[in-house]
Amino acid sequence: MHAAKGSGLAANQVGVDARLFVIDSQTTFDHMRVESRSVYYPGDHGIREVFINPCITSYSSREWEYEEGCLSIPGIHVNVTRPWSIHIEYLDQQLQPQSRFFEGLTARMILHEYDHLEGVLLTDYIKSWRLKLLQYKLKRISKGKVKTAYEMKGVKSIKV
């Protein structure tokens, strides 16, 4: 994840059948311009956390759009509308129960990785007309025929 400059990774993205993901919004926070920090990380400095058996228990009604990318679908970026904040329950790396509230960019990163556990990919947020335009590129990605800073074994679940 770090070698690819990613901020999160779900177990099923690397072939592990488990309901867990990791998030590193701390690195993103550290590299963000100071004026952006208060917008995307209000009252937060980012996290480095393992989420085991996560369950999102509530979503805010406030939503915002932001461009996202995904290590499973390199080179594709999509504007995704997501809730501004969430409440999530999970086990941490020490298998201790956690019940936490996240907002802004950290919440978005969590929601993105949670989507992976639920079988939702970034391509599911792409409008059908744009999906058709990206068909050739998505087929190449699904066959692992793309240059990345990390190993790609193919992404068999991309809907084309």
**Catalytic residue numbers, as ranges:** 113
Tokens of 71: 């290590």
Question: How crowded is residue 5: how many other Cβ atoms within 10 Å of its Cβ?
Answer: 13
| Closest to 86 (Cα-Cα) out of 64, 117, 68, 71 | 64
Question: Which CB contacts under 8 angstroms, 24+ apart, belong to 26-34?
Answer: 27/2, 28/105, 28/109, 29/105
Helix, strand, coil shares, percent, the chain, to 5:
30, 30, 40
DSSP code of 81?
E
- Across-strand partners of 136? none
In angstroms, the CA 27 to CA 47 distance is 8
